Amino acid sequence: MIADNGSTDGTGAAVRKLIGEHPLFSYVYSATPGRGGALRRTWEDAATTLVGYMDVDLSTDPESFLALVAAIEHGAGIAVGSRLLPNSKTQRSLLRSFLSRCYNLLLKLLFRVRFTDAQCGCKALSSDWSRSLLPTVNDNHWFFDSELLVRAERFGCKIQEIPVTWKENTDSRVRIFRTVLHFISGLAKLRVELWLNRQR
């Protein structure tokens, strides 16, 4: 399923052509932008036993995604790709790599999370966990993945990390300064909410 929300770059036409050639694919369109919202809509409607996604720019080697699916089939609640494990093979710019390490360290300090890479564009969930977690996640943009994982750990979900092969695609939609502010605001809102609910 290809989730297109509000793109203006010919994605719709390209996907329709792809579906003509490979009817296994389907296409969901919504005008509201934001990756989290796109995942929420497609996962909510899925009639499958597991849901997941990988970035459409194929930064993650598709083989890594198959390893996530296998992990769910073997009982993990969530399986996530990580670019920050000893066996991960990554090709990233120094700046993105530095920001990613700082961000994941901040998550560890603020929420004591056990996973290493919240924002890798490659994740799978059992549908049971997807159904219970989605209503608890507020963010519909880039912070969606982080919030999902922080809440999942607190609900006792088993998160399995898989080292991925990652090749950065420099055609990025991330505007670094704006996205850093978005993440800081997401972290602050979530931390305050959990403190107010007396969760460490």
Ligand X SMILES: Nc1nc2c(ncn2[C@@H]2O[C@H](COP(=O)(O)OP(=O)(O)O)[C@@H](O)[C@H]2O)c(=O)[nH]1
Catalytic residues: 145
- Rg, Å, the chain Cα set: 17
Residue with tokens 């050639």: 21
Report whether 149 contacts 189 (CB < 8 A). no
At a CB cut-off of 8 Å and minimum separation 6, what does 180 contact?
99
Nearer to ligand X, 95 or 109 (CB): 95
Q: Please identify which residue in 18, 19, 57, 131 interacts with ligand X, judged by CB under 6 A.
A: 57
Contacts of Mg ion in 44-63 (CB under 5 A): 57, 59
Contacts of ligand X in 135-174 (CB under 6 A): 169, 172-174
Strand partners, 50: 126
Q: How many residues in total does the chain contain?
A: 200
Name the residue type at position 186. G
Quote the tokens at residue 19. 């579906």
- The reply on whether position 116 binds Mg ion by CB under 5 A is no
Nearer to ligand X, 4 or 191 (CB): 4
Q: Please identify which residue in 35, 83, 123, 151 interacts with ligand X, judged by CB under 6 A.
A: 35
Min separation Cβ 6 and ligand X, Å: 7
- The reply on whether position 33 binds ligand X by CB under 6 A is yes
Q: Residues in the site for ligand X, rule: CB under 6 A?
A: 3, 5, 33-35, 38, 55-57, 59, 121, 169, 172-174
